[in-house]
Amino acid sequence: MADRILSGHGSGGKLMNEMIGGLIRRVLGPESVQLDDSAVLSVGAGKIAFTTDTFTITPIEFPGGTIGSLAVNGTVNDLAVMGARPLYLSCALILEEGLETAVLERILISMRGAADRAGVSIVTGDTKVVERGKADKIFINTAGIGILERAVQRRPIVPGDAVIISGFIGDHGIAIMALRNDLSFSRGLVSDCAPMNRLVDKVLAAFPESVKFMRDPTRGGVASVLNEIVQGMDFGIGLAETSLPLRDEVKGVSGMLGIDPLYAANEGKVLMVVRGEEAGGIVDLMRSHPEGKDAAVIGTVSDTYPGRAYLETPTGGRRILPLLIEEQLPRIC
């Protein structure tokens, strides 16, 4: 590990994974620190899922949301992809001296709206104020608790399984980058910031044995999640480029900025690995829900290129999708 912390250590890529696995777990205890979207804990005769996340996006207000709605939805989604029913959130605010009160109120209103939409309650919190210049207006930490009413959605993945995404890829990350770079042709592009718990619950109720893995592909995007799945495994995952749901605006901004949208953050999508024979039924079900109306099967699990994620191009070629060392998109969530 590097002698000093780099921006890439918060990227969701190789540097962050090395820091968590090589330093944080070693010091805090590998037997207790669970490397997943949420920790699964026994409480009495039942189980809960418990998660926490910190949000540092710039700008703090953007098309489709604010740092407040992002914090709520991100925490809800981390619980949902474990198969848990999100119930309660905490909210800790780190405010920079000089932040306009009206801005804070708008952010809190967006948090309340996102919580109501997801059906969760914000029940506790904390507030700190730091000197001007010591923060970027506002940082938010949220923690969440959900009830595990089903088995954790982590089952053995085998060749023939299918990869599903609940909608368009890269909307959040590319919308933020377009805003930062004042790209006027992308004015219609907005963040996909949204809760996934109701969509996930609908799928699990109808296909309780089919879903093998779920993740909300935030930092590092779809490609980074796939790399986590295949690491050290005897199978690979291939994506079909022609099947990827990408908005024209996302393609345009990505091409202009030299960004691969498969590594761009999503804040209102769920990626699933499911039984191949039931993938079509799951996609049809997703498309009947507002948050899954653009769902698609985007890839398959195979014994080709074990331990690798790769992209199959329209011309028949294959391109490896590596785990990035550092981040393409800083301060994105």
pLDDT per position as a tens digit, 212-239: 999 999 989 999 999 999 999 999 999 9
Q: Say how far apart CA 104 and CA 93 lie, in whole Å.
A: 10
Question: Residue 137 pLDDT > 90, yes or no?
Answer: yes
Q: Which pLDDT score, from 0 to 100, does residue 151 have?
A: 75
The pLDDT of residue 29 is above 90: no
> Is the predicted pLDDT of residue 12 greater than 70, yes or no?
no
- The SS3 assignment for 275 reads coil
Residues 168, 305: one domain?
yes
Query: Distance between CA atoms of 209 and 103, rounded to whole angstroms?
Result: 45
Confidence of residue 3 (pLDDT cuts 50, 70, 90): confident
How many domains is the chain partitioned into structurally? 3
172 and 242, same structural domain? yes
Q: What is the pLDDT of residue 206?
A: 97
* CA distance to 213, 244, 272, 288, per residue, from 157 (Å): 8, 21, 11, 26
Residue 170 counted as domain residue: yes
Query: Alpha-carbon distance 234 to 323, whole Å?
Result: 17
Kindly state whether residue 218 falls inside one of the protein's structural domains: yes
Enclosing H/E stretch for 205: helix 197-206
- Structure-model confidence comparison of residues 23 and 164, the more confident one: 164
Task: Answer yes or no: do 129 and 178 share one domain.
Answer: no
Query: For residue 326, is it within any domain?
Result: no
* 44-93 pLDDT per residue, tens: 889 999 999 999 999 999 999 999 999 999 999 999 999 999 999 999 99
The pair of three-digit structure tokens given for residue 230, joined into one six-digit string: 């295949």
Is residue 311 within a helix (H) or strand (E), and if so which, with residue range?
Answer: strand 309-312
DSSP 22: I
Domain around 12: 1-32
The reply to whether 97 and 15 lie within a common domain is no
Query: Of 48-57, 123-132, 180-189, 256-265, where does mean pLDDT reach its minimum?
Result: 180-189
Pairing relationship of beta strands 138-148 and 236-240 according to DSSP bridges: unpaired
Q: Tokens 């993740």 correspond to what residue? A: 215
Q: What pLDDT is recorded for position 183?
A: 83
Q: How confident is the model at residue 24 (pLDDT cuts 50, 70, 90)?
A: confident
CATH code for position 43: 3.30.1330.10
Distance of CA 17 to CAs 10, 81, 134, 244, Å?
9, 20, 27, 26
pTM score of the predicted model: 0.92
Q: Which two tokens mark 191? A: 């963040």
Let me know whether 194 and 296 are in one domain.
yes
Residue 327 inside a domain? The answer is no
Do 143 and 250 fall into the same domain?
A: no
Report the mean per-residue pLDDT for the chain: 92
Cα Dmax for the chain = 57
Q: What pLDDT does residue 250 have?
A: 95
Q: What is the pLDDT of residue 326?
A: 65
Average pLDDT over residues 173-180: 92
Closest C-alpha among 189, 326, 196, 327 to residue 271: 196
Cβ neighbourhood burial of 54 (10 Å; 0-12, 13-18, 19+): middle
Tell me what pLDDT residue 26 has. 83
Regarding whether 302 and 227 lie in a shared domain, the answer is yes
3-state secondary structure of 256: helix
Query: 54's torsion region: left (phi>0), alpha (psi -120 to 50) or beta?
Result: beta
Residue 42, SS3?
Answer: strand
Report yes or no on 253 lying in a domain. Answer: yes
Give domain status of residue 331, yes or no: no
Q: Which residues pair with 53 in a beta bridge?
A: 142
Q: Is residue 208 in a domain? A: yes
Which pLDDT tens digit goes with each residue over 232-275? 999 999 999 999 999 999 999 999 888 899 999 999 999 999 99
pLDDT at 69: 98
Q: What pLDDT is recorded for position 50? A: 96
